[in-house]
Structure 1
Amino acid sequence: MWEVGVMLVRGKTSNEALETVIISNYLDLFLGEKDFFRSPHYFVCELSHALKREGHNVTVILPWYKKLDETLKKMGIYYTGKTERILIPMDRGGNEDKEVEARFFDCMGIRLIFIYEPTLSDRDGFVLDPSTGFFFPDNLKRFAVFSKASLEALKVIPLRPNVIHIFGDWSSVAAVYAKVLFKYDNLINRARLVFTIPSLEDQILLPPEQYSYLSLEWKYFSYEFLEFYGKVNIVKGGIVASDITTFLSESYVEEVTKADFGNGLEGVIIQKLNEGKIKGILPGVNTELWNPKSDKELSKIGANYNIDSLQNKVKAKKYLVSKYGLQEDSIVFFFYGDLTERSGISLVYEVFGDVLKNYKASLIVIGRGDDFRELSLAELQDNFKGKVVWLKDCKLGDLKHIISGSDVALIPSMSEQDNILHMVSMVYGTLPLVRGVGILNDVVRDRINGFKFYNYSPSEFLAKIKDVCDIYFRDPKRWSKIQKTAMKSDFSWNSVAKKYV
């Protein structure tokens, strides 16, 4: 049954409407902290709307944060006038019971519930303390209250969900509570429990003295559940408690079975894989935001295009090279991301001196980093004036012109679990050149819909760039075929939603 889809429920067929609840701690989209290509920023919003389009009933539960007042109306999210006060029992380990508010909003037919509690909602920072740059020391207590309140809110509605889908690290406590504290609750215990976590790189490990914040019996602080080398690991607890855990990449699922990527949880992952309780499901692309046929930025220069009118992509390129003073007959590469070792920027500035000397090539880099990497890029730009452009920041409109006008997107990452830049680039017929890891490996097929290399080495990266340049300059028919194959890809969120139901 689970091989058909993640959210299938006993007694339900996949074409019946499901009551789906999504619980998440991610507020990035609401707070304007947008990374255009990091799918966790958009996951809850995009998946919930896609599930609704598929005919399912969706309730989303999020923590309230005081800065939300400024953004919700702008996003078309309106308060319904309904607020329920809920007493949350936190009576174990010396914790006081908490009274919270469940505030009901509507987002285009999706029920949206924000949980308000003063220590959760009223601080100057949300997860990070702005005075230190680190997590608030009582985050576990704050998100334990949020997680329990989210489940209690379902009883207030009342709502009997077929699926409870938990997304994110701090909200993983909700999976633990659903399995332990609500196992005899008839509204909740029949729901399939799905836990999605983007990455195991930065797990939340907490000292054992904080375990009492969870108000759980000590028997659950065990090697089999929440204990991890003497510390509390709530992500591990979420994986163990859930009926199924999903990652945003099929290849990443394979990677986390190994010590280099599993970060100590590879044993748990392997066990769950053997039980059929781990899946990788790719995120989608917002085809209203990213679509060369209807892109308003391209409309301004008369350069909208699709797979049948790629000649207009040439117009987009002419606009781009003219704006930044680059050679029109060059192959244009671009790199977008943090200037860190993980992003692969070191490979870019190590090899592009050779590329720019030997090919008619141009390079646009968008991103910030430490002094060393910024100085290296500045030096590359100075040495190749008219061939290299480095932008520390970039507005969405300018970014769209760079993606549509470029020929190749460079994504030579050391690791990659949730970046969708390669997918967006393919939608625009701009071919991705990626390292074959994680979500990049899932999508890109070398010389078919993009280009791919595997070893994180300057020599292999340079060899693949030369391969790209040779095809671009010597075999335009093949280049066009690769472009069209890339543009035929279906990255819609509707197709993603079907995999969850």
Structure 2
Amino acid sequence: MKVAMVAYEVYPFAKVGGLADVVGSLPRVIEKQGAKVTVFMPFHKVVQKNCSKLGLGIESVAKSIQVPNLQTSEKFDLYKTRMPESNCVVYFIANDYYFSSENVYEGPDLAEQAIFFSNASLEAMKYLSETFDLVHAHDWQTGLIPVYLRTIYRTDPFFSKTASVFTIHNLGYQGIFNPKYIKFAGLPGYLFNIDGLEFYGQMNFLKGGILFSDIVTTVSPTYAQEIQTEQFGEKLDGVLRLKAEDLYGILNGIDYAEYNPATDKRIYANYDLEHVADKKINKKELQKELGLQVREDTALIGMINRLVDQKGLDLVEKIADYTMMFDVQFVVLGTGDKKYEEFFKNLEKKYPTRVSSNIKFDIDLAQKIYAASDMFLMPSRYEPCGLGQMYSLRYGTIPIVRYTGGLADTVKEYDPKTKEGNGFGFREYDAAHLLEAIARAVYFFKNEGDHWMRIVKNAMSTDVSWDKSARQYMKVYQEALKKRKF
């Protein structure tokens, strides 16, 4: 099976969020299942820099390829490299106008940018004269790819046998724009209706991906059920219920080679399940680096997140001072809404030797926090999958979560009677319940040493690898090939 995977960010070439990690790992694990995977992504400015760091060469494939369907004279150049530790070829769609920003998700016109990339990716496949059994598109920026395949390219012999899979990574980001972009995209005007791209008078790219793909996947089984409800459906729950028979929740995994406390060069000291005691070295060194009191018996709570409402930060704000009444330290890493950036900065000023607020993007510091912290906080309002709790489990750092989406699928409440479970959490979105969950975790850390070590070992023994998920994707791909419509 030959699969074209299309996404806006792919690790290690360009990374902003979890999408990059997923698309950076999935092609390699799918490849091990016997498929040939080719990746298409924009040639963001950061790509050249990251390839140079990794010693990866970038080869020019073609210049000035036309994008015939769009109302623009812009053309694209095509470059390629190879994904590290893989046979997967990665093609970069280059255009100095649309991909000129230093930031991945900025540009002169986000709608035009996504349309250009989607159509250019399909034209790149045609230029390469490489037919694909299936195109797997990710998130709203590629939502029009299934639409193109079912309309303009429907009668194109090159794509006559091509199925499509569309993955929703976060339903909260849909790509909603003025309907004028249908004309720019060269799509038929009849698509602007309630059964097509129309969404409350606007054009919805994500809705297009959902309706026109053969199969829709999302990133955890629980989230696949949640988004079919009014509470979590972001006004698309009705559309998703219509698509229910073709909607699958497949839990993301993490790259066990990349995220391995036994070999990770970014942390202070390596350790594994048999040498968990060496984890304490990481805690001590991080405390020293960030100016916290160096205390082994203080519970160190880490949080690495986009600082936005979705992540439950309004709850954290309400209970921050109560939490600090416990014997804890708190380390946060991330950027986002100014109100939360200022909140964490002020919290550090209030508790200068117990709180470290790092308002920035720093992959190396993130790894140190995963390895050094005793607990990891993710009280999300909703969480499609979540990777932070998976990284923390891998590093023996105990998650404290709200049981929603992928958090509910990966974190299980510790039961001292059975000694089963790998974390702590709460269900109702309420600050008091979050505080109770933190209190339970701190109690076991401070007073139940044998139990705490059991929780840590349970966490590190939790399978959050890609192996099971890769097999599920292969089954979904086969199903998409059966369901493709002509």
Tell me the CA shift for residue 408 of structure 1. 0.7
| C-alpha distance 167-73 of structure 1, shift in aligned 2 (>3 A) | same
Hey, what does 2:37 align to over in structure 1?
58
- Tell me whether 1:406 sits opposite 2:379 in the alignment: no
- Tell me whether 1:294 sits opposite 2:263 in the alignment: yes
Question: Do the aligned residues in 2 keep the contact of 1:115 with 1:150 (CA within 8 Å)?
Answer: yes
Q: Deviations over 1:29-53 (max 9, x none)?
A: 534xx44xx3212222221222223
Hey, what does 2:481 align to over in structure 1?
none
Question: Do the aligned residues in 1 keep the contact of 2:9 with 2:104 (CA within 8 Å)?
Answer: no
| C-alpha distance 79-404 of structure 1, shift in aligned 2 (>3 A) | closer
Structure 2 counterpart of 1:315, which letter? Answer: I
Question: Do the aligned residues in 1 keep the contact of 2:76 with 2:120 (CA within 8 Å)?
Answer: yes
| C-alpha distance 170-356 of structure 1, shift in aligned 2 (>3 A) | closer
More deviation in 22-31 or 45-54?
22-31
Question: Do the aligned residues in 1 keep the contact of 2:284 with 2:294 (CA within 8 Å)?
Answer: no
| C-alpha distance 187-373 of structure 1, shift in aligned 2 (>3 A) | closer
More deviation in 151-160 or 176-185?
151-160
| C-alpha distance 22-76 of structure 1, shift in aligned 2 (>3 A) | farther
More deviation in 344-353 or 426-435?
344-353
Question: Do the aligned residues in 2 keep the contact of 1:83 with 1:102 (CA within 8 Å)?
Answer: yes
Question: Do the aligned residues in 1 keep the contact of 2:319 with 2:435 (CA within 8 Å)?
Answer: yes
Q: Secondary structure at the match of 2:434?
A: helix
Hey, what does 1:163 align to over in structure 2?
134
The match for 2:233 among 246, 249, 262 is 262
Sequence identity, in percent? 27
| C-alpha distance 496-231 of structure 1, shift in aligned 2 (>3 A) | same
Q: Deviations over 1:54-102 (max 9, x none)?
A: 33211112233455444334344433453266443327xxx36765443
More deviation in 382-391 or 154-163?
382-391
Structure 1 counterpart of 2:260, which letter? Answer: N
Tell me the CA shift for residue 180 of structure 1. 1.4
Hey, what does 1:20 align to over in structure 2?
3
Hey, what does 1:106 align to over in structure 2?
82
Q: Secondary structure at the match of 1:305?
A: coil
When normalised by structure 1's length, the TM-score is 0.84
Question: Do the aligned residues in 2 keep the contact of 1:120 with 1:126 (CA within 8 Å)?
Answer: no
Hey, what does 2:212 align to over in structure 1?
241
1:211-222 equivalences in 2 (<5 Å):
211-222=182-193
Hey, what does 2:449 align to over in structure 1?
476
Tell me the CA shift for residue 105 of structure 1. 3.5
Q: Deviations over 1:274-314 (max 9, x none)?
A: xx21112222222233211112244x5xx322112212223
More deviation in 63-72 or 202-211?
63-72
Q: Secondary structure at the match of 1:264?
A: coil
Structure 2 counterpart of 1:30, which letter? Answer: F
| C-alpha distance 89-392 of structure 1, shift in aligned 2 (>3 A) | closer
Structure 2 counterpart of 1:128, which letter? Answer: E
Structure 2 counterpart of 1:103, which letter? Answer: Y
Hey, what does 1:4 align to over in structure 2?
none
The match for 1:334 among 302, 320, 328 is 302
Tell me the CA shift for residue 374 of structure 1. 5.0
**Cα distance in 2 between the residues matched to 1:487 and 1:459:** 29
Tell me the CA shift for residue 20 of structure 1. 0.8
| C-alpha distance 160-449 of structure 1, shift in aligned 2 (>3 A) | same
The match for 1:128 among 106, 110, 126 is 106
| C-alpha distance 385-147 of structure 1, shift in aligned 2 (>3 A) | closer
Hey, what does 2:330 align to over in structure 1?
363
Q: Deviations over 1:320-359 (max 9, x none)?
A: 44542243212222222244433223333432433433x4
**Cα distance in 2 between the residues matched to 1:206 and 1:370:** 22
Hey, what does 1:444 align to over in structure 2?
411
Tell me the CA shift for residue 258 of structure 1. 2.0
Question: Do the aligned residues in 2 keep the contact of 1:90 with 1:97 (CA within 8 Å)?
Answer: no
Hey, what does 1:42 align to over in structure 2?
21
The match for 1:466 among 424, 436, 439 is 439
Tell me the CA shift for residue 127 of structure 1. 4.8
Structure 2 counterpart of 1:332, which letter? Answer: L
Q: Secondary structure at the match of 1:446?
A: coil
Question: Do the aligned residues in 2 keep the contact of 1:89 with 1:98 (CA within 8 Å)?
Answer: no
More deviation in 60-69 or 464-473?
60-69
Question: Do the aligned residues in 1 keep the contact of 2:44 with 2:102 (CA within 8 Å)?
Answer: no
Tell me the CA shift for residue 211 of structure 1. 1.7
Q: Secondary structure at the match of 1:225?
A: coil
| C-alpha distance 223-457 of structure 1, shift in aligned 2 (>3 A) | same
Tell me the CA shift for residue 27 of structure 1. 6.0
Structure 1 counterpart of 2:374, which letter? Answer: D
**Cα distance in 1 between the residues matched to 2:322 and 2:215:** 48
Hey, what does 1:8 align to over in structure 2?
none
**Cα distance in 2 between the residues matched to 1:265 and 1:156:** 35
Structure 1 counterpart of 2:184, which letter? Answer: Y
**Cα distance in 2 between the residues matched to 1:154 and 1:340:** 37
Tell me the CA shift for residue 257 of structure 1. 1.3
More deviation in 141-150 or 115-124?
115-124
Question: Do the aligned residues in 2 keep the contact of 1:381 with 1:390 (CA within 8 Å)?
Answer: yes
Hey, what does 1:318 align to over in structure 2?
284
When normalised by structure 2's length, the TM-score is 0.86
**Cα distance in 2 between the residues matched to 1:266 and 1:223:** 14
Structure 2 counterpart of 1:162, which letter? Answer: D
For the aligned residue pairs, the C-alpha RMSD in angstroms reads: 2.8
Question: Do the aligned residues in 2 keep the contact of 1:327 with 1:387 (CA within 8 Å)?
Answer: no
**Cα distance in 2 between the residues matched to 1:102 and 1:369:** 33
Tell me the CA shift for residue 241 of structure 1. 0.8
1:186-205 equivalences in 2 (<5 Å):
186-205=157-176
**Cα distance in 2 between the residues matched to 1:117 and 1:396:** 28
| C-alpha distance 116-314 of structure 1, shift in aligned 2 (>3 A) | closer
Tell me the CA shift for residue 422 of structure 1. 0.7
Tell me the CA shift for residue 271 of structure 1. 0.8
**Cα distance in 1 between the residues matched to 2:47 and 2:369:** 32
Structure 2 counterpart of 1:439, which letter? Answer: G
Q: Secondary structure at the match of 2:206?
A: helix
Bigger-Rg structure (1/2): 1
Question: Do the aligned residues in 2 keep the contact of 1:88 with 1:148 (CA within 8 Å)?
Answer: yes
Gapped regions of structure 2 (runs ≥ 5): 415-420, 475-486
Structure 2 counterpart of 1:110, which letter? Answer: C
| C-alpha distance 183-331 of structure 1, shift in aligned 2 (>3 A) | same
Question: Do the aligned residues in 2 keep the contact of 1:64 with 1:120 (CA within 8 Å)?
Answer: no
| C-alpha distance 26-370 of structure 1, shift in aligned 2 (>3 A) | closer
| C-alpha distance 215-382 of structure 1, shift in aligned 2 (>3 A) | closer
| C-alpha distance 191-368 of structure 1, shift in aligned 2 (>3 A) | closer
| C-alpha distance 217-340 of structure 1, shift in aligned 2 (>3 A) | closer
Question: Do the aligned residues in 2 keep the contact of 1:19 with 1:57 (CA within 8 Å)?
Answer: yes
